[in-house]
Amino acid sequence: MIAISVILPSLVNPQAGIVHCMPHIKVHNWQLLRNLKEHFKITCFIGHDIRSFALAEHYFGATQNCADSIFVRIHHGAGAGVVMGGEILLDNRYNLGEIGHIQIDPLGERCHCGNFGCLETVAANSAIENRIRQQLEQNYPSQLKSNNCSIKAIYQAANKNDPLAIEAIKHVGHHLGKAIAIIINLFNPQKVVIAGEITAAEKVLLPAVQNCIKTQALKDFHNDLPIVTSQLAHNSAIGAFALTKRAM
Ligand SMILES: [Zn+2]
């Protein structure tokens, strides 16, 4: 073994090796890198999970042939990684790309960040599941059942042309497209990659995202811009490995 890499969904400073805070576990300025090095006496790296996945996609996946790309992942929340010139973009405060907290609906649901109508309140897996559950309670016609509307059941139903599942995923694609259009206008990438369970219904999701981008991103920026799904979606350890690979 030559190194240990740990990636986390948190506010993390990879240089100092400190995890400032995490969304669902209470930590405060956690000296994770120092602790790992002291315990294992080996080279260690820590990093933000989505930024690390973006780097992995660049090394091993859909953006290998692009210097400039955007990676967006939908899971418990929504986040983005920006790769520019083959390097993951980080600032002096080590945190950027929080696409999940772009407000897409001023009258929307309360987000865990304290604001209202963030992308996460519409696009996170739990938000999609809750929306479907509410529609089922109002007897919206669907093959889905309120006691089984996991994200997997939803994308499977969408792929079998279930009207409710299709509408729910189009709704997510529309709002996700708004947020992605903003990032395209800011960074003018060569490719956009979307990752997450919901991309299993890409035939419904991607056209909804693309329709939005067409009308909200600069024409010169979105013309011939591929919007694709991740090639590494089911291999999450690869994000941590990307940090070791970068050092090598
Ligand atoms: Zn938020």
**Confidence (pLDDT) at 83:** 96
Would residue 5 count as lying in a domain?
A: yes
Would residue 56 count as lying in a domain?
A: no
**Confidence (pLDDT) at 142:** 93
Ligand 1 mean position, distance from CA 53 (Å)? 21
Ligand 1 mean position, distance from CA 111 (Å)? 5
**Confidence (pLDDT) at 9:** 87
Would residue 55 count as lying in a domain?
A: no
Ligand 1 mean position, distance from CA 12 (Å)? 18
Say whether both 108 and 168 belong to one domain: yes
Would residue 8 count as lying in a domain?
A: yes
Ligand 1 mean position, distance from CA 105 (Å)? 11
pTM: 0.93
Query: Which residues have beta carbons under 5 A from ligand 1 (an ion)?
Result: 101, 111, 113, 115, 118
Ligand 1 mean position, distance from CA 44 (Å)? 31
For the chain, how many structural domains are there in total? 2
Q: What is the pLDDT of residues 88-112, one digit of tens each?
A: 998 887 778 899 999 999 999 999 8
Would residue 54 count as lying in a domain?
A: no
**Confidence (pLDDT) at 233:** 65
What is the domain range of residue 225?
62-230
Encoded tokens for 110:
């309360």
Q: What is the distance, to the nearest Å, from the Cα of residue 196 to the centroid of all Cα atoms in its chain? A: 7
Q: What confidence category does residue 216 fall into, taking pLDDT thresholds of 50, 70 and 90?
A: very high
Say whether both 180 and 135 belong to one domain: yes
- Distance in angstroms between the alpha carbons of the first and the last residue of the chain: 13
Q: What is the distance, to the nearest Å, from the Cα of residue 66 to the centroid of all Cα atoms in its chain? A: 19
Say whether both 97 and 167 belong to one domain: yes
Q: What is the pLDDT of residues 9-41, one digit of tens each?
A: 888 999 899 999 887 788 899 999 999 999 999
* Whether the predicted pLDDT of 81 surpasses 80: yes
Ligand 1 mean position, distance from CA 36 (Å)? 31
Say whether both 105 and 199 belong to one domain: yes
* Whether the predicted pLDDT of 47 surpasses 90: yes
* Whether the predicted pLDDT of 235 surpasses 80: no
Say whether both 6 and 74 belong to one domain: no
Say whether both 44 and 140 belong to one domain: no
Say whether both 177 and 161 belong to one domain: yes
Q: What is the pLDDT of residues 111-147, one digit of tens each?
A: 988 999 999 999 999 999 999 999 999 999 999 998 8
Domain at 241, CATH number: 3.30.420.40
Would residue 57 count as lying in a domain?
A: no
**Confidence (pLDDT) at 24:** 77
Say whether both 98 and 124 belong to one domain: yes
Say whether both 30 and 88 belong to one domain: no
Say whether both 159 and 133 belong to one domain: yes
Give the strand order in the sheet containing 87-88.
87-88, 78-84, 69-74, 191-195, 227-229
Percent of the chain with pLDDT over 90: 83
Q: What confidence category does residue 248 fall into, taking pLDDT thresholds of 50, 70 and 90?
A: confident
Would residue 80 count as lying in a domain?
A: yes
Question: Is the Cα torsion angle 158, 163, 164, 168 positive or negative in sign?
Answer: positive
**Confidence (pLDDT) at 25:** 84
Ligand 1 mean position, distance from CA 246 (Å)? 31
Ligand 1 mean position, distance from CA 115 (Å)? 5
Q: How many helices (H) and strands (E) does the chain have?
A: 9, 9
Say whether both 143 and 97 belong to one domain: yes
Say whether both 168 and 122 belong to one domain: yes
**Confidence (pLDDT) at 113:** 87
What is the CA angle 73-45-83, rounded to 5?
Answer: 40
Ligand 1 mean position, distance from CA 76 (Å)? 12
